[in-house]
Amino acid sequence: MLAMTTSTFGSQANTGLVVGGNTVDNALGAAYSHLSIRPSFKKNLAHPIMALFPIKRFRPIRELWIACVSWCSVTACLCTVLAQLPLAQSPVLAQSPGTPDALVVDLGKQTRLELVHLSPGELMMGSTPEEKAWATGIEGGAQPGTERESYEGQLPRKIKVPHRFWMGRTEVTVGQFRRFVEETGYVTDAEKPGGHTQCFNPKWTSYDFRTSVVHPWEPMPGKSWRDPNFQFPLQDDFPVVCVSWTDAKAFAAWLNEQASLKLNIPAGYAYRLPTEAEWEYACRGGRQDSTAYWWGDDLAEGQGRFNISAVDFLPDRKQKWPLASAPWSDGFSFVAPVDHFGERGRNGFGIADMCGNVWEVVLDHFDPKGGHEELHTTKENYRPVCKGGNYFDVPGNARCAVRLGLAGPHYSDSRDGFRVCLGPIINNAP
């Protein structure tokens, strides 16, 4: 019993716990090797006491001595083993659920949706007077003299997001939305009888400001997310557009109904549209100050990061968007594939396309006085909030703080899309 060897411990531990890449028997083996415990162990331990008590009648004393020394040796081995086990791998901590950096949702047919984990934190919501002045100035290019910038609130204010959540790395794509429709047969608001969506009219040439203003977007029956009238082939990796706030919520509800996905949903959480506070927190990428964009205030630093009105010709013509624009080509006069700009287009949280590409609807109802820390809803005549700007927007209209209210929950446009989050269930959410 007292001459137990490493191999004996090893045969027991091979079916046991694996810790830090090594089994427990490896740790025990190292401990025993360090203490030089071998089959001749009993004889070596007995030698000093035998010299003191050579007579046979003292044999019980010798055996007691061997037992005491052996027990101390075994105890030392166990202490050595425990010291080698990393605390992070202890059984108690191992039972606590982990927090993955990202969740990948399999939608079938080789289509996946990725969400990035965000820890609780704070942000400065809104914009400064200086930022508003820049947005309506020469470089920002937004129309001065309107109340649009006032929607961002008078001053930035500290907002807390007290819970962890997962935010879509990109806007929901055409391919992801198609999987939803294939599985459910869902019909969007634009596709319903009498429905329509706002699309670009390719016959448009200019605003004609000197006479009557002619807008590039018009309501078009027969157009939808399947055909947004882009005048070029639709791709599965484009952000889905021409979908309403109602359509976006239906997509999130479908995610929650999938039995295969429920296993990955923490208790008390659900897929949904983000609140405005969650969206702006995710957009700013962990910044604690108030800046126009997630990388700072310098527009020039935005080159190669986002898709807005820039030096790009419209399809089949040598003409760019006529209003203010970024002084470079981003390669797209309309939508860009999601996450096209790679690491440079991802903010501090690793989230892509939060500014530009397409407007993104959120869960809140629009309050013209500014955004809210908690979900804001109204009982009637509500207008969903949209954030972030789009491919057609001037630089001043594609900032983190920018916010507008849609015409209504069933309104859709070829500049509007959405992204989903996995967040705490909100009671009485619209």
Q: What is the pLDDT of residues 109-158, one digit of tens each?
A: 999 999 999 999 999 999 999 999 999 999 999 999 999 999 999 999 99
Token output for 321? 């968007």
Its pTM stands at 0.77
Tens-place pLDDT, residues 216-274: 999 999 999 999 999 999 999 999 999 999 999 999 999 999 866 776 688 999 999 99
Tens-place pLDDT, residues 162-211: 999 999 999 999 999 999 999 999 999 999 999 999 999 998 988 877 77
Please name the residues in contact with 357: beta carbons below 8 A apart, sequence gap of 6 or more: 171, 239, 306, 307, 335, 336, 338, 388, 390, 391, 417
CATH number among 3.40.630.10, 3.90.1580.10, 3.40.605.10, 3.40.50.300, domain 102-424: 3.90.1580.10
> Is 427 a residue whose pLDDT tops 60?
yes
Identify the CA nearest to 334 among candidates 220, 414, 240.
414
Which amino acid belongs to residue 84? Q
Instruction: Check: CB of residue 426 under 8 Å from CB of residue 374.
Output: no
Domain layout of the chain by residue ranges:
6-94, 102-424
pLDDT at 74: 43
Instruction: Check: CB of residue 170 under 8 Å from CB of residue 356.
Output: no
pLDDT at 33: 37
DSSP state of 203: T
pLDDT at 428: 87
